[in-house]
Amino acid sequence: MTQTVPVRSLTAKGERTRAKIVDAAADLMFRDGVAGTTVEDLCAAAGVGRSQVYHYFDDKTELVRAVIERQAELVFGGQEPHLAHVEGWESWEAWRDFVVGTQRRAGCVGGCPLGSLASELADEDELTRGILVLSFGRWEGAFRDGVRRMQDLGLVRADADPAGLATTLLATLQGGLLLCQVAKDVAPLEAALNGAIGYLRSFA
Amino acid sequence: MTQTVPVRSLTAKGERTRAKIVDAAADLMFRDGVAGTTVEDLCAAAGVGRSQVYHYFDDKTELVRAVIERQAELVFGGQEPHLAHVEGWESWEAWRDFVVGTQRRAGCVGGCPLGSLASELADEDELTRGILVLSFGRWEGAFRDGVRRMQDLGLVRADADPAGLATTLLATLQGGLLLCQVAKDVAPLEAALNGAIGYLRSFA
């Protein structure tokens, strides 16, 4: 993904330290929320000093933006292999099983790393929101391409709207992940994804 | 809704003061998140003293539980008239228009008052999570009853699964509200709800 947050020229060692800080911040913010994560927590978790954090990031807002990009990369990186190589209905079922399996392994804790950040930050400053828009847009684009591929394969009717279907798929996924987090059970997520795929199937 | 949080015996005046505190806390937590809301903010917003807050609530957790119930009541109260009196496809379209109109009037700020609380609190203590489960369960139940009513009216096939459809409708709504909050535009919400209704229509 094109980095929206400017990254200063760093040495290899500097890049590693910066990545260590972002990874630790991502873990903490996933667990405790952005508001619940302090620089002290971050320094302890990353094993760095306060001055190092401020060497790489002007302020918390800049760090948060890097965390959004990192989480978007991880979430998308996991699902992309399924969505980028759609070969038929079994690809959508494999995608569903991947998403459900990820939540099952996580004990249904935390919900979607990107969705949780979005819920907390979507009303903050416009640059932060812009990064969320780009991240979700990239994800939605992958769904749209997957639907188009189904059309090319002759498995989904040509009059189906890939954009509307992509929005519905992404929305159902996000809501399903939230219901899974609340229920501490993958059943609602699985039901919601079956519904989303069922909707796509209604255009078969 | 049956109150899960025990309410102490209060005089009429006491009930009004308690309700004023809960309303102010609900507004603040909707705007700033639960973690971002302090007792000081709450006292200033509700025009009460710290001792009054602690007279009605043992701690912040107890207050948060009352806020969840209050928001669930408000969110559900708005949608229930549509879902409790389903008379055909136009009832689902009226429900969609109501949800979209509410977000448009709010400037797409804040997302779902219940969904935002859920995202922040679903991994907290079990009693708080239980109240979220009950609140979402009641909402899901209303969707299920609406789908059953469509079956009774002969507008949806008898072999459709009302429980699975209800979960899909609630998930798509929750995800649609999140995408609307991120995009600051009702278009993704409207597209997602059209998708959810389209899925229901595929069982016509």
Would you place residue A50 in the very low, low, confident or very high pLDDT band (cuts 50, 70, 90)?
A: very high
Q: Distance between CA A122 and CA B65 in Å, rounded?
A: 24
pLDDT over threshold 70, residue B166: yes
Asked if A122 reaches chain B (Cβ–Cβ under 8 Å), the answer is yes
The secondary structure of residue A157, as a DSSP letter, is: -
Which residue from A178, A69, A73 is spatially nearest to A132, judged by alpha carbons? A69
Single-letter amino acid code for the residue at B170: L
Q: Which CATH architecture group holds A65-201?
A: Orthogonal Bundle (1.10)
Distance from B182 to chain A by nearest Cα, in Å? 5
Q: Are B57 and B64 in contact (CB under 8 A)?
A: no
Contact (CB, 8 A) for B171 and A167? no
CA distances from A133 to B30, B41, B72, B121, B171 (A): 21, 31, 28, 24, 20
Q: What one-letter code names the amino acid at A170?
A: L
Task: Name the DSSP class of B7.
Answer: -
Any idea of the CA torsion for A67, A69, A71, A76, to the nearest 10 degrees? Answer: 180
Structure tokens, A4:
């929206």
Residues 162-201, chain A, touching B (beta carbon < 8 A): 163-165, 167-168, 170-176, 178-179, 181-184, 188-189, 191-192, 194-196, 198-199
A98 confidence band (pLDDT: 50, 70, 90): very high
Start-to-end CA distance of chain B, whole Å, equals: 33
Domains of chain A, residue spans: 8-57, 65-201
**pLDDT score, position B10:** 85
Same fold, B7-57 and B64-201: no
Q: DSSP alpha helices (H): ranges in chain A? A: 12-32, 39-46, 50-56, 60-83, 89-105, 113-121, 126-152, 162-183, 187-201
User: Which is the CATH superfamily of the domain at B64-201?
Assistant: Tetracycline Repressor, domain 2 (1.10.357.10)
Residue A76 has pLDDT above 50, yes or no: yes
Place domain B7-57 in its CATH homologous superfamily: Homeodomain-like (1.10.10.60)
Contact A133, A192 (CB under 8 A): no
- What mean pLDDT is reported for chain A? 94
Contact across the interface for B175 and A179, Cβ inside 8 Å: no
Nearest CA in chain A to B192: A168
Query: For the domain A8-57, what is the CATH superfamily, name and number?
Result: Homeodomain-like (1.10.10.60)
Q: Residues of B with CB below 8 A from A32's CB?
A: 35
Q: Indicate whether B46 pLDDT > 90.
A: yes
Given a contact cutoff of 8 angstroms between Cβ atoms, the answer to whether B146 and B83 are in contact is: yes
